Every structure is written in C-alpha cells, then in structure tokens.
Structure 1
C-alpha cells in the first residue's frame, strides 16, 4: 500500500439507529440466521443507517432480498421514524410481488415494532422476525451491505448537502450495487445477474 501511495479509509463516527427501549411487542427471531433462502421473495431483511452531510444527518432505510442480496426497497430522509421505514417497505412491495408467508426480518427498533409498520406487514400476509436485543449478527447481511456502502462511498470528505448525498446513494444502490458490484456469496455475480440466472429455475420450482 505504501508503494502504491494508498491509505486505508478510516471509519466515521457512529450513531445509534435502534431504539429498543420501548414497550411495544417484539417478534421472535424466526430467521435464526438462515441467510440463504432458496428463491426470491422468501426472506427480506431491513435496517437503517446514517450518512453525515454538512447540512446534518441523512438517514437511509433499506430492504434486501436475502436470496440475491438485492436492495429491493429503500428510502432516505432527515428523520429516523416509522415514515422512513414504511416508505422503504412500500417501495419493495411495489417493485416485487411476494407471496403470503414472506419472512421479514429487522431489529427490535420502535420504527419496526410500531403498530403502523406491523399492520403494513400483516395486511400483506408477511411474517415478522426480529433480531435478539443488541445482537447485530442476527441481521448480518444488511450489516455487511452497510459496511460496504460506508467503505466504498461514505467514508470520504463529507457530502456538502443532503441532496448530494441522496444522488450518490441512489447511484450506488441502483446503478452500482444492484447491477454491477460482484458479490462473493453469489458466485461473483451482481444481485441482478444472480436473479436473472436463477429465474428459470425458481419459476419451475
């Protein structure tokens, strides 16, 4: 690295995005770290992260299909609340047609445990699963996605505006990550290419 004049990117400041100190009902960990479903739209996982800009924090909620690791829904906003995660879920539901029985995994945060979000899941026949309290490994795939996003895009001189960050995040997710970035777990295919390659098999199943 020294010979190539390279330096490792430093990790940025950490912000807690999970408010698990609430009295809302929480779901058991049905997923139980089974991160490899056999077909698309069997298991989705979701979480929230944060991006610093000179105007303040921008929050990002994503929904990943664990079959292909594709980001099937996402939303950005200045506030970390139920509206943020509901917007990400709605995008995923508009873009996919999951059957009843889809497993949806999240942490125990109030954004996911609140009645509005739980109703949105129940109305579509989606089963809810939540990580054990304080156990990030129970949602390791989304944590890995956030780590890649931070290292490859965010950990650099900060964005000047939230709009600049929004544009960069959109391009990273929709142009680079979903369609171009190769994933070792997927046999070094992108999520879109992996789904396309598996499509005839999953339709026949």
Structure 2
C-alpha cells in the first residue's frame, strides 16, 4: 500500500480517509436508480430506451431527467434494441473507409429494376426477435425481394436479393444501395452481386439520409404492422409480414412514387 500511494503521489492518511468517507447523496440515489432501470429494462425485454424508462419511473413517482437515465444506462452498458447510440459513437471514433456511392441521395430513376435499396429491420415478438431484410425498387417503390430469419447473417440479405432477382429478372448493372452493415459489405454478398452483374452502392457512414427511402418504408411497416400487433410466435409473424408485403403493400397501397 505504501508503494502504491507513493506511485500515485497521495498520502496514506488521505487514502484511508477516502475509504472511510460516506458516499454522497447523489451516489446513493444513482445506486437505487440503477437497480430500478435494470428492472424496467429486463421487464420490457430490452426494447425500452431512456425516454420510455424515464416515463415508467415517473409513473412510479420517481421524477428524473431523461439525460441522467441515459447516462446511467450507458454506464451499465444497457442499449435498447435498434438503438443507434453505439453506432454513432463508433462513427465518431473510427475513420470511414471510402466506398462507392453512385446513388448519392438521388432518389429517382427512369425505369423499374435499375436501382434497389435495401436494409434490415428488427421485429419484436413475444418469443424473441425476427429480422426482416427487404429490397425496394426505386422506381415503383414496391418490394422486390424480402427474407426473414431469427439470425442476422449475410444469408438473410442474400436470400432477399435472390428472391427479388428471380422474380424481377433485372438487367445487368442493377444498382444495389445499402448501408455499411457487415451483411452487405461482406465478401459473400459482394460475390453474389458480382455474379449477377449488379453494382454495389453504399451509404456514407452515419448518414441516414443516404438511404431515406428505406427509412420511410420501415416507418410505414412499423406503424401499420408492428406497433400494437402483439405478435406471438415466429410463424405467425412471418404470415403477417407476407400478407402485408405481398397482399397489401405491393398490390393495393398507393405509393409516393408517381409511377
């Protein structure tokens, strides 16, 4: 202990005084809050972020600032499913690799099957999470191909692309625009694009506007299908997604595109 105190340039008496010091009122409050936050987070299976947890605490009679809840959650490494917080921090700390982005926020084209945009959404059910990969045609705004799985692997997006390709038979040099998710920029998916003479286009890291069409699509599907649906087993969820995409979205819905 004497050696450690000397290394840290502090006196032994000061160190022992620190050990005997009582924790502050705020430290005690934070200790209680961490337990409450952990309890709420687990109760809602990781889907509640700082905003909703703050509201739950308020209903329990605990008035607290949302920023404080968020700070405590980060200290406990609690991140709501679908949260982009860690993604944002990664973007600030890591330099981006320059990748081709021929789309470059030009969200229109003069014909079908010239540009597809793709992304993955996470669908909560009472028995776990399902992952939905979708490719949407830029011209018609209709879903070209989609796939679902309990695991987020490159096979998920490959299956969605191949389903669309076999159904639409697009010409060569079809542009496939996605974010920089590992499923898209990985060698397996890139090899599939090369095999079918498609061109990869990738959003800039952290720039949500580069794939605004998919953001709009997922906002719609969350509102129309997911919120309040009380989805149970995986098979029921698959059927509901099939009915929404194939029997409504692609056939009856009026799309924002004039085509």
TM-score class, shorter-chain normalisation, is 0.7 to 0.9
- List aligned pairs for 1:66-105, cutoff 5 A: 66-105=138-177
Write out per-residue CA displacement over residues 66-107 of structure 1, whole angstroms, 9 at most, x where no aligned residue.
000110100000001101001101101110111111111000
Structure 1 residue ranges without an equivalent (≥5): 1-10, 187-193, 195-205
Q: Which aligned runs of 4 or more in structure 1 are off by greater than 3 angstroms?
A: 11-14, 16-22
Residue 66 of structure 2: aligned partner = none
Match of 1:46 among 118, 125, 139: 118
Please state whether the residue corresponding to 2:170 is helix, strand or coil.
coil
Matching of residues 103-122 of structure 1 within 5 Å:
103-122=175-194
Are positions 1:135 and 2:202 aligned together? no
State TM-score, norm by structure 1.
0.79
How many residues are matched? 176
* SS across alignment from 2:164: helix
Q: Secondary structure at the match of 1:100?
A: coil
Q: How does 1:1-205 map to 2 (within 5 A)?
A: 14-16=81-83, 27-186=99-258, 194=259
Task: Return the offset for 1:158.
Answer: 2.5
Q: Contact between 2:104 and 2:210, CA under 8 Å: does it hold in 1?
A: yes
Distance 1:143 1:45 in 2: 10
Pairwise CA distance, 1:14: 4.6
With the length of structure 2 as denominator, give the TM-score of the two structures: 0.63
Distance 1:88 1:157 in 2: 24
Higher relative contact order (CA 8 A, sep 6+): 1
Going from structure 1 to structure 2, the CA distance change for 1:87 and 1:26 (only over 3 Å counts) comes to farther
Q: Tell me by how many angstroms 1:32 deviates.
A: 0.6
Contact residue 27 and residue 128 of structure 1 kept, 8 A: no
SS in structure 1 of the partner of residue 139 of structure 2: coil
CA 100–185 in structure 1, closer or farther in 2 if over 3 Å, else same: closer
Is the contact made by 2:141 and 2:256 (CA closer than 8 Å) also made in structure 1?
A: no
| CA distance in structure 1 between the partners assigned to 2:241 and 2:174 by the alignment | 27
Q: Work out the CA distance in 2 between the residues paired with 1:157 and 1:43.
A: 32
Aligned-residue RMSD, C-alpha: 2.5
Shift of 1:184: 3.2
Per-residue deviation at 1:27?
Answer: 2.7
Write 1 or 2 for the structure with the bigger share of helix.
2
Bigger Rg, structure 1 or 2: 2
In the alignment, the residues of structure 1 paired with residue 164 and residue 243 of structure 2 have an alpha-carbon distance, to the nearest angstrom, of 17
Q: Distance in 2 between matches of 1:131 and 1:16?
A: 18
- Aligned counterparts of 2:194 and 2:99: Cα–Cα separation in 1: 13
Name the CA distance, whole Å, in 1 between partners of 2:255 and 2:118: 19
Q: 1:119 aligns to what SS in structure 2?
A: helix
Instruction: Give the Cα separation in 2 of the matches to 1:184 and 1:169.
Output: 21
